[in-house]
Amino acid sequence: MDLYTTFSVLIVLSALFAYVNFRYIKLPAAIGLMFIALLVSIALVAIGSFFPRTTHFFTALMEGIDFSELLLEVMLSFMLFAGAIHIKLDELREQRLPVILFSTFSVVISTFLVGGMFFLALPLFGIEAAFIHCLLFGALISPTDPIAVLGILKEAKVPRSLEMKIAGESLFNDGVAVVVFLTVLQVAMDPGSFGAADIGLLFVREALGGIVLGLAFGYAGFVLMRSIDNYK
């Protein structure tokens, strides 16, 4: 399946799910879309067990998508931009200390808490897993989604200072989360080949490098747009 068809199907399904949620379910947009997608996925699996050919299109669609590349290389940048464009820098600057703490230390703490609970819970279901693999799961789900967070906070009408703390954390935690995930993954694959210097280099490359590139391209775009006056 070509890229155009894939994006067309995803956009149509997203629009349809958003309409159903807004009209009938009336949950926050991020939660509603996830809930409907989960129900549809379960329904497709159930239908596919009885009528395998009916789900061939969706199976081929999913197999043709590299989700890791699609998420990290394509979708994540647009998601962060969509969240950051609604953030006021003056308010973010006032909350810089809690935002920095939440987006760094809280991600690491959450990784170990979730990984530890996952490690303790799996044996209850008869599943054995190494602790390092449970930490991988913790690192995977610890960073929050900025779009979902901002949407829920606006509907909940929380105080502006609290909204800025949580929204700022959700925007900046991805760099830390990538470093934590890749570090844990490397340790899981080859425990003796990853030291403190490698972790520091990885953080500089992923987090600080992303900030530098973002500032450079953002400023270049600002200069280009400021030099024209054409809204047609």
pLDDT tens, residue by residue, 17-39: 889 888 988 887 777 888 888 88
Taking each continuous run of H as one helix and of E as one strand, the counts in the chain are 12, 0
Closest by CA position to 145, among listed 222, 31, 24, 7 = 31
Q: Does position 1 have pLDDT exceeding 60, yes or no?
A: no
Confidence tier at 214 by pLDDT (50, 70, 90): confident
pLDDT mean over 140-155: 73
Query: To the nearest whole number, what is the mean pLDDT of the chain?
Result: 81
What confidence category does residue 224 fall into, taking pLDDT thresholds of 50, 70 and 90? confident
Give 200's contacts (C-beta < 8 A, 6+ positions apart): none
What pLDDT does residue 231 have? 59
Model pLDDT, residue 146: 64
**Chain centre distance of CA 7:** 19
Residue type, position 6, single letter = T
Q: Looking at the whole model, is its pTM more than 0.75?
A: no
* Encoded tokens for 21: 């949620």
Cα–Cα distance between 89 and 93 in angstroms, integer? 6
Q: What is the DSSP string of 68-118?
A: HHIIIIIIHHHHHHHHHTT--HHHHHHTHHHHHHHHHHHHHHHHHHHHHHH
- pLDDT at residue 96 above 70? yes
